[in-house]
Amino acid sequence: MGMKTEIFDKKRLKEIKTKTAEWEENSYSCQKKLKKKYETLSGFDVKPLYTPDDLAGFDYLRDLGFPGESPFIRGVHPTMYRGRTWTHRQLAGFGPPEETNKRYKFLLQQGASGINGVFDYPTLRGYSSDDPDVYADVGRGGVAIDTVDDMRILFDGIPIDQVSVSLVTCQPICNISMQSMYFANALDRGIPLDRLAGTSQNDFLMETATTIAPGVLPPQASFKVSCDAIEFCTKNAPRWNPISFAGYNYREAGCTAPQEVALVIAHAIACSEEMLKRGIEIDSFANRLSFFLSAHNDFFEEIAKYRAARRIYCSIMKKRFNARDPRSLMFRFHVQTAGVALTAQQPLNNVARAAYHALAAVLGGAQSVHVDAYDEALCTPTELSSVTALRTQQILQNETGVTNTIDPLGGSYFLESLTNRMETEICGILDEIDSLGGLVKAVENGWIHKEIAEAAYKYQWAIENGEMPIVGVNCFKIEDEVLPIELFSSPETLKVQKKKLQIIKKKRNAAEVARSLDAISRCCEKNGNLMELMVGAVKSHLTEGEISQALKRVYGVWDPPLF
Amino acid sequence: MVRLGMDAHWRGSMVVARALRDAGMEVIYGGNQMPMNIVRMAIQEDVDIIGLSSLSGNHMMLAPEVVKLLKKEKVHDIKVVFGGTVPPDDVPKLKKAGIVEVFGPGSSLRKIISCIESLKNN
């Protein structure tokens, strides 16, 4: 790494530096007097102009390299979108599984190239629809799934051996049931697990840090349950991504861009360490670790974030874990456009916002994208708003030409500088998490909660004080606005689900149910792999709530610390 | 300040709770609760105002229930406000059910603070 590999000549750089200073002094001076502060959303200073001087010491082969090659900053695939476009994976789920099944089929007919299934609040938290505490939330925010029979209905008539399916089973307590039901249903349809392609979210931070709900699984237990699914998939479902580190949700809860990436990478480190402890070789699972990030308002910062994440991750997997398989070094990620950036005011403006967000994701080299619907801040997407979101992706792919060349912003003085700055910031946070004893510890002692809450609070005051303009909210407002869109109304779910549960509970073999639940408790006590047992156990029509209770009886519950 | 039912979104309730605290009020953050518990907690802690938060769409089923239970317990001096994602048509319905103020998405923190202060003093 001597002088010869640097792309800018030292003497010329000096001249550029002098010239830039002159330009600032003479030509730019009027603007300088205004003393306005320019910074990115996460608070990095932004200069008026970037030149080669900002990339002094820049070495193309070392710092950027080529797509599909280490450090993968220019993209994880050698052909990127020329070879294969990003997956248009639109989130869908509401009401009973019968209704969501129709929406999946509709989206696939409209050209969606993958399914992104979201579950209702009780399902995500491990409750069945007949629990007395959940009657107001059944079918809201996603589809209600109680037993393996609901899972069968949800994917009825959908070729799950061909379509890749993402299960947004945020919390491990939900994932262990849902993924087992999904696998059990596939086996029942005669599809072997090694033919299933897809992803489950399965993120213990979602259970313990980003939703602050009382009575959740303790962090160590939640983390263990998530790792059981990773281990099971490594051995039985090699095309399945058993975890999707949900940086998107950390961001929605309040994180900044560098915190978002630092937390997902810290999480990948924790999982890798745990798998190695279980005697599983790094290259047999690391190639299936996948990431889920947000695309927020600051266009260039978001692109820099994705690029920095790829370079840091590659280096960590190489140096810290000695991974050899190139696929283990790749930071592959799904993007959802930021819901928190959308407004209830003038909701059609959100079409423009989400399009910019999606553009950042694609210029940042995402593997799959979900574009938020314009009515996100008001209700579950209607058929019209979800098709408009899908069309936003199709327009981006087919009309704008952004797919023609790989990493088109690579080499930009500004973007490369920002990528470097982002990398430094992320690595700093990673060091801090290491010094706290790793991610699980950082959750247990409330550090994560404090960090997220602090950032969210700062963000809100920036909007409040007008430092962060939000069109329609703190500027360009319309008083007494009449809502220009139709809103979604949820189909009846509670009665439908309760009735099905009543029938199932009568019909199923009670002795077999008791045996299965007992086996689950014993597996928890013996620290065995829960998913190995669960894929078979759910066939006896255990409800999700019964499974969660069995887990909580052994592991206990935890009240996350407050901010 | 509590979140209704199973709602998973905590950002809004947390930011508002903190803003109220920083404005000099005492805030008790109750996490996720069902109406019966909310009323029990409110009476026990002798609060002036109950802040309900939900972005999950469960507001029409749970928020009016809190007001009803307060009446049943013959509590007349605790006011109930709501914040979260609410379709505009639901706002008059919530108010009719006895929720004194509804703060939708994009509400200003300063407005929330001054509204709570004036409710407390009335």
Taking only the tens place, the pLDDT of each residue in A295-315 is 999 999 999 999 999 999 999
> B-chain residues within 8 Å CB-CB of A472?
106
pLDDT digits (tens, 9 = 90+) for A179-203: 999 999 999 999 999 999 999 999 9
Q: Average pLDDT, stretch A480-494?
A: 86
Using beta carbons and an 8 Å cutoff, which residues of A are at the interface with B?
121-122, 124-125, 127, 133-137, 140-141, 210-214, 252-254, 340, 343-345, 377-380, 453, 456-457, 460-461, 464, 470, 472-473, 483, 487, 490, 559, 562-563
- pLDDT per residue over A78-129, tens digit each? 999 999 999 988 888 999 999 999 999 998 998 888 898 999 999 999 999 9
Separation of alpha carbons A524 and A555, rounded Å: 8
Edge to edge, the sheet with strand A198-200 lists A240-241, A198-200, A165-168, A114-118, A87-92, A368-370, A333-337, A289-295, A243-246
Looking at the domain covering A95-241+485-563, what would its CATH class be? alpha beta
Q: How far is residue A144's CA from residue A154's CA, in Å, rounded to a whole number?
A: 10
CA atoms A149, A154, A160, A166: torsion sign: negative
Res A3 pLDDT > 70? no
pLDDT at A490 over 90: no
Q: Which of A106, A55, A114, A68 is nearest to A87 (CA)?
A: A114
Min Cα distance B121 → chain A (Å) is: 24
Decide which of 3.40.50.280, 3.40.50.300, 3.30.565.10, 3.90.550.10 is the CATH code for B2-121.
3.40.50.280
Q: Is the ipTM of this complex over 0.90?
A: yes
User: Taking the domains of chain B in order of start, what are their residue ranges?
Assistant: 2-121
> Between A and B, how many CB-CB pairs are < 8 A?
100
What is the phi/psi pair of residue A486, to 5°? -85, 145
Q: State whether the Cα torsion B58-B61-B63-B69 is positive or negative.
A: negative
Residue-wise pLDDT for A150-174, tens only, equals 999 999 999 999 999 999 999 999 9
Read off the pLDDT of each residue in A74-81 and give the average, rounded to a whole number: 96
Candidates B1, B2, B3, B6: best to mutate against A (most CBs of A within 10 A) is B6
* pTM, to two decimals: 0.95
Task: For residues A235 and A194, give the distance between their C-alpha atoms in angstroms, rounded to a whole number.
Answer: 9
Same fold, A1-17+37-82+259-476 and A95-241+485-563: yes
Q: How far apart are CA A316 and CA A266, in angstroms?
A: 10
The span from the CA of A367 to the CA of A291, in Å, is: 10
pLDDT averaged over every residue in chain A = 94
Complete DSSP assignment for A190-234: T--GGG--EEE---HHHHHTSS--TTBPPHHHHHHHHHHHHHHHH
> For residues A354 and A392, what is the distance between their CA atoms, to the nearest angstrom?
8
Q: Do B110 and A214 touch (CB under 8 A)?
A: no
pLDDT at A117: 92
Residue A213 confidence (pLDDT): 76
Determine whether the interchain pair B106/A340 forms a contact, defined as Cβ–Cβ distance below 8 Å: no
Amino acid at A71: P
Strands A198-200 and A240-241: parallel
Which CATH architecture group holds A1-17+37-82+259-476?
Answer: Alpha-Beta Barrel (3.20)
| pLDDT for A2 beyond 50 | no
Q: Give the integer Cα–Cα distance in Å for A129 and A495.
A: 9
Joined tokens for residue A18? 């002098």
What's the pLDDT at A91? 86
